[in-house]
Structure 1
Amino acid sequence: MDAEVTLPDVDTSTLFSKVPFNRLLGMRREFCEAGQARMVLETRAELTNNFHATHGGVIMTLLDVVMSSAALSKSGFQRAVVTIDMSTSFLKPGRGRLTAYGTAVGGGRSVCFCEARIEDEAGDIVAKAMGTFKYVRP
């Protein structure tokens, strides 16, 4: 007779706060639930490029983190994710307070497809992204 294997309950809702890079950048998670996430970043001088706009690498990180958070919440915080693919479009320089919105738009048991956008304080879109995230065991 085969014994049933029971995995312990997992809660990946706190993974965001455990990533030192997220703290270094100063990202704040404002919302993360049911496949939706929202992050905020206050741009400061050390996060800017030669044009005094938020560095593109910081923008991409914010997009990646908000999409991965949306994917985590879609799983009910029972799995972790790793980024498989990400495509980014930069639309205008990002300055000041930036808000990122992420949405899990599809997928299945093993992958999650997400979309994200970053808006500046005026509500203008700074950048957009699409990403594919693989669910993994925490």
Structure 2
Amino acid sequence: MEKIKQQYEVGGREGSAPHFKALLGFERLESPEGSAIVELKLRQEHCNFKGTVHGGVVMTLIDVAGYWAGVKKDVSEHIASTVSMNCSFLRGTGLAQTTSLRAEAQITKRGRSMYFSTIKVYACPGGEMLASGQGVFSVAQPR
């Protein structure tokens, strides 16, 4: 587990390039257990050719926030994988209106080997909801 934690913090396997977290630049903020808050400061690279935030960026925030709601902050105790995820896009936004996105996730049910999260993505500043989604995650059992 220590090696997994190190790979997560550093950004990949030894000698490899930084992983997806470093590429997008999102950050996990403090939140109560069973929930997660993830913030992404927007850059031009997060937008599509029309200048609006790419849907894949929003889906990634839903995935990451849903995952983090169910695992410990230090990542060393539990590792989970996404089983299923859905998203409803409510409205778009671009750099002209929004400086960052904020995803808020809450565990809705936890079982022995799976947990379910509900996630909402908001534009900042302003707080308008851009998308909502649900995720199902499988927890790897310690060996």
Q: TM-score, normalised by structure 1?
A: 0.81
How far does the alpha carbon of each residue in 1:37-72 deviate from its partner, in whole angstroms, 9 at most, with x for none? 101111111110122111111110011000100011
Partner residue of 2:136 out of 117, 132, 135: 132
**Structure 2 unaligned regions, length at least 5:** 12-18
CA 1:15–1:134 in structure 2 vs 1: closer, same or farther (change >3 Å)?
Answer: farther
Contact 1:36/1:73 (8 A) holds in 2 = no
Relative distance call for 1:130 and 1:24 in structure 2 (3 A) is same
Which residue matches 2:15? none
2:88 matched to 1:84?
no
Consecutive aligned runs of 4 or more in structure 1 exceeding 2 Å deviation: 12-19
> 2:20 matched to which residue of 1?
21
Report the AA paired with residue 125 of structure 1.
M
Contact 2:113–2:141 under 8 Å retained in 1? no
Say whether residues 1:102 and 2:105 are aligned partners.
yes
Greater C-alpha radius of gyration: 1
Runs (5+) with no aligned partner, structure 1? 1-8
SS in structure 2 opposite 1:106?
A: strand
Distance 2:33 2:6 in 1: 15
- Percent identity of the aligned residues? 30
Name the CA distance, whole Å, in 2 between partners of 1:15 and 1:128. 30
RMSD, aligned α-carbons: 2.6
Counterparts of 1:115 and 1:90, CA distance in 2:
14
What TM-score, normalized to structure 2? 0.79
* Separation of aligned partners in 2, 1:72 and 1:111: 11
Aligned to 1:5: none
Using the alignment, how far apart are the partners of 2:10 and 2:90 within structure 1?
Answer: 31
